[in-house]
């Protein structure tokens, strides 16, 4: 055997010894992965998708009085392209007038009927009152005749005089009764005329309202700006063919592009970690090279269900710090919300965590050439790692995958002495350059 062959054999034996002591005894998996318990800054974050919207905007609205005429859904017949810059008074959209035209035609028929009733009542009243006045005049003549007869009977027998006196009293009484009846009839006819005129005026006002409403079906820009389509209750964009709700008849908006928000939704599991004032890093799908910063400005108190989802989410508004001309409303944003930033604490990958009966969290801790199951106390968690509060030291190593022979008992925290890793949250920095976590150091 030559020297070269001898050296190769010796090198192979050394490599096998190193592998044995690196991965434990033969009972462990040959492919076991062991990682260090790292110490440094731990960043807890939530990643959610959002959409940019202007913080302030002018709403372009459809007819505000459609409900008064029992019109509840209006279809947009035509609208100019989104992103068009418009001037005040410029054409924006046309609403479908078919339902309104039908109601207008029906109301014209109602008005003609009301006007006909009013004229008929007016003629009937005039005719009836003329007849009543003629009756009064005739009764007055009858009273005068009876007075003359009484006067001429002064030299007649007493019975004749008495008879003429009774006839005169009857004529006067009939005249007075007719006067009272005339006044009652006059008041009745006045009331009927008022009612007929009111019905006519009501229909007239409704007809005028429909005429005015018809002019509002052509929508003009209330201010200068760039047109952005509005969204309805289910998040769908309002465009030609869409329907607007008369309770909130917004067709489009003219946003103030100098200030922006990112509106996003956080699930009910993570929302407890989100607080007003937390820092956010914002990425844009349309501008992958651009990164924005912001803060959580508002967290909804009540949850809601989003379309095509059974779980509840909470609306979170993120105020964007600075914007430029490239950033537009409606752009999709990726929001990284930093719920906590902790300095000088221990952490391990999430893959190294195990759980026993949903009550004990433990790891496979490398112990010499073997391992042991060690209970740990976990603090904050992010997408890839967990903060370790108790149970591990900085120089420890843990298994990513469980060894084959893993029937050992778990070493509980109560059995440890001094392995306490307390972390404190870093104070909120004042300078913008320190608002966000530092780049992580590579694992040794």
Confidence of residue 31 (pLDDT cuts 50, 70, 90): low
Which residue has tokens 């002591």? 21
Q: Residue 231 gets which letter from DSSP?
A: B
Q: Give me the pLDDT at residue 307, please.
A: 72
Distance CA 211, CA 227 (A): 28
Kindly state the tokens that stand for 392: 């591990």
Alpha-carbon distance 248 to 259, whole Å? 24
pLDDT digits over 320-365, tens only?
Answer: 999 888 898 889 999 999 988 898 999 999 999 999 888 899 999 9
Interval 222-234: pLDDT, tens:
999 889 998 887 7
Span 140-156, pLDDT tens digits:
999 999 999 988 988 88
Q: What is the pLDDT of residue 399?
A: 93
> pLDDT > 70: what percent of the chain?
86
Report the DSSP pairing between strands 291-299 and 312-320: antiparallel
What proportion of the chain, given as a percentage, has pLDDT over 90?
Answer: 55
Highest mean pLDDT among 301-315, 335-349, 396-410: 335-349
pLDDT of 424 over the 50 cut: no
Domain 27-46+339-434 indexed as CATH 2.60.20.30: no
DSSP bridge pairs for 397: 36
pLDDT class for 238, splitting at 50, 70, 90? confident
Least confident range of 222-226, 295-299, 422-426, 439-443: 422-426
For the chain, give the secondary structure using H, E and C. CCHHHHHHHHHHHHHHHHHHHHHCCCCCCCCCCEEECEEEEEEEEEEEEEEEEECCEEEEECCCCHHHHCCCEEEEEEECCCCCEECCCCEEEEECCHHHHHHHHHHHHHHHHHHHHHHHHHHHHHHHHHHHHHHHHHHHHHHHHHHHHHHHCCCCCHHHHHHHHHHHHHHHHHHHHHHHHHHHHHHHHHHHHHHHHHHHHHHHHHHHHHHHHHHCCEEECCCCEECEECECCCCCECCCCCEEECCECEEEEEECCCCEEEEEEEECCCHHHCCCCCEEEEEECCCCCCEEEEEEEEECCCCEECCCCCCEEEEEEEEECCCCCCCCCCCEEEEEEEEEEEEEEEEEEHHHCEEECCCEEEEEEEECCEEEEEECEEEEECCCEEEEEECCCCCCEEECCCCCCCCCCEECHHHCCCCECCCCECCCCCCHHHCCCCCCCCCC
Query: Rounded to whole angstroms, what are the CA distances from 39 to 259, 351, 363?
Result: 39, 17, 17
DSSP three-state, residue 174: helix
Q: pLDDT band at 437, cuts 50/70/90?
A: low
Give residue 406's pLDDT. Answer: 72
> Does domain 57-96+219-255 sit in CATH 3.90.1150.10?
no
pLDDT in tens, 241-262: 898 888 888 999 999 888 999 9
To the nearest whole number, what is the mean pLDDT of the chain? 84
pLDDT in tens, 62-98: 898 888 888 888 999 999 999 899 999 999 999 999 9
pTM: 0.56
pLDDT digits (tens, 9 = 90+) for 40-68: 999 888 999 999 999 998 999 989 888 88
Residue 3 pLDDT exceeds 60: no
Residue located via tokens 């070493």: 411
Q: How many CB atoms lie within 10 A of CB 159?
A: 8
State residue 154's pLDDT score. Answer: 87
Q: Give the Cα separation of 444 and 442 in Å (integer).
A: 6
Could you tell me if 121 and 193 are in contact, meaning their C-beta atoms sit under 8 angstroms apart?
Answer: yes
Secondary structure (DSSP) of 306-321: PTT--SEEEEEEEEES
- Any idea what DSSP says for residue 75? E
Q: Is residue 28 scored above 70 in pLDDT?
A: no
Tokens of 49: 């998708």
């Amino acid at each position: 055997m030559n020297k070269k062959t001898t050296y190769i054999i010796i090198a192979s034996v050394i490599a096998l010894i190193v592998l044995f002591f690196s991965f434990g005894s033969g009972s462990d998996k040959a492919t076991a992965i062991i990682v260090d318990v790292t110490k440094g800054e731990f960043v807890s974050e939530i990643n959610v998708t959002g959409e940019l919207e202007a913080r302030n905007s002018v709403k372009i609205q459809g007819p505000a009085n459609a409900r008064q005429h029992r019109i509840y859904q209006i279809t947009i017949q035509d609208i100019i392209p989104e992103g068009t810059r418009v001037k005040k008074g410029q054409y924006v959209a046309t609403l479908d007038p078919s339902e309104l035209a039908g109601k207008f035609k029906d109301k014209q028929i109602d008005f003609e009927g009301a006007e006909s009733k009013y004229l008929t009542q007016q003629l009937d009243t005039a005719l009836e009152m003329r007849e009543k006045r003629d009756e009064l005049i005739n009764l007055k003549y009858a009273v005068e005749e009876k007075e003359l007869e009484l006067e001429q009977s002064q030299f007649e027998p007493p019975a004749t005089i008495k008879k003429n006196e009774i006839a005169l009293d009857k004529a006067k009484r009939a005249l007075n009764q007719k006067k009272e009846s005339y006044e009652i009839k006059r008041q009745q006819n006045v009331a009927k005329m008022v009612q007929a005129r009111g019905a006519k005026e009501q229909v007239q006002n409704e007809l005028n309202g429909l005429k005015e409403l018809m002019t509002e079906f052509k929508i003009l820009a209330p201010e200068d700006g760039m047109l952005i389509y509005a969204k309805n209750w289910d998040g769908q964009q309002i465009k030609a063919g869409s329907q607007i709700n008369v309770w909130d008849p917004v067709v489009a908006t003219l946003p103030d592009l100098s200030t922006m928000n990112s509106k996003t939704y956080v699930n009910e599991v993570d929302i407890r970690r989100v607080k007003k004032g937390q820092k956010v890093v914002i990425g844009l799908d349309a501008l992958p090279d651009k990164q924005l910063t912001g803060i959580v400005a508002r967290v909804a108190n009540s949850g809601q269900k989003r379309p095509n989802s059974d779980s509840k989410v909470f609306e979170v508004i993120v105020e964007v710090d600075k914007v430029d001309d490239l950033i537009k409303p409606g752009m999709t944003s990726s929001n990284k919300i930093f719920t906590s930033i902790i300095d000088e604490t221990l952490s391990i990958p999430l893959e190294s965590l195990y759980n026993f009966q949903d009550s004990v969290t433990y790891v496979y801790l490398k112990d010499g050439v073997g391992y042991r199951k060690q209970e740990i106390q976990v603090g904050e968690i992010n997408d890839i790692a967990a903060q370790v509060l108790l149970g591990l030291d900085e120089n420890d190593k843990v298994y990513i995958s469980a060894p084959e022979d893993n029937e050992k008992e778990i070493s509980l925290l109560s059995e440890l002495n001094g392995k306490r890793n307390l972390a404190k949250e870093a104070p909120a920095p004042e300078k913008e350059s320190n608002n966000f976590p530092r780049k992580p150091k590579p694992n040794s």
